[in-house]
Amino acid sequence: MARRLMCWTALLLAILAAAEPYSSAEPAEACRALTLVEGILGHYGTCAPLDRRLVVPFGVIEGDEVTLVKAVNHLHMNKDDYIAILFYASWCPFSQECKPNFETLASLFPTIRHFTFEESAIRPSIISRYGIHGFPTLFLLNSTMRVRYHGPRTVKSLATFYSDVSGIDASVMSTSGEAMLHSLDGIELKKDARQENCPFWWARSPEKILQQDTYLALATSFVFLRDICTVEYQDMNNKSSL
């Protein structure tokens, strides 16, 4: 009886082991739908090139420091590509006016990858490295250059900037799936033609500064306390000498 049970157990394990590859394997023609970050940054897995084009979404990626590093690395691997980066602040009214136009540009220039970074998601040292002194700030980058935009933040003005720098014209997809040039004549001019920026330190509460710049706050406190102790120590020495 025990020998028969062992034989049936061994047979069952052999059947399960043989069936496991077929149950876990996905059909070759099926690809997992990529997330927006995976699609734009190129994490395709084992999908075929044709399937990638079908499932890769286009739009604006809201990222953090890791996304920024991946986006820049993407440029070094794809020399002819361009990316657009918008640094903005949620507390800045000019940023709120600029973001919708940036999203429109992503649809007009689908071959240019678009990224947005909120100032609270990026360390001040990185913001300073990009020479950002106010929000919003927009850059167009490729593997060899980084161009900052200066001017009205209307869709038409920004699209002209894109075309002048990259040589890529605004386009829309036709019903047949082909790219067609967009004249931009129907783009409505909005109130965000103003060129004002919100200074980097404007409207930042002390609590937020301490939260984001902890090391700076600790270093400042240390220097401040050290100076106080030094002054008090000198006063004590002066009194004792008298």
pTM metric for this prediction = 0.58
pLDDT tens for each residue of 118-177: 999 999 999 999 999 899 999 999 999 999 999 998 999 999 999 999 999 988 654 444
Give me the residues paired with residue 35 across strands. Answer: none
Determine if residue 10 is left, alpha or beta; phi over 0 gives left, psi from -120 to 50 gives alpha, anything else beta.
alpha
Roughly what angle, to the nearest 10 degrees, separates helices 93-108 and 155-166? Answer: 50
List of the chain residues with pLDDT < 50? 18-30, 33-34, 36, 40, 44, 46-56, 174-177, 179, 189-194, 203
Terminal C-alpha separation, the chain: 105
Task: Please state whether beta strands 134-135 and 137-141 pair in parallel, antiparallel, or not at all (unpaired).
Answer: unpaired
Q: What is the pLDDT of residue 44?
A: 46
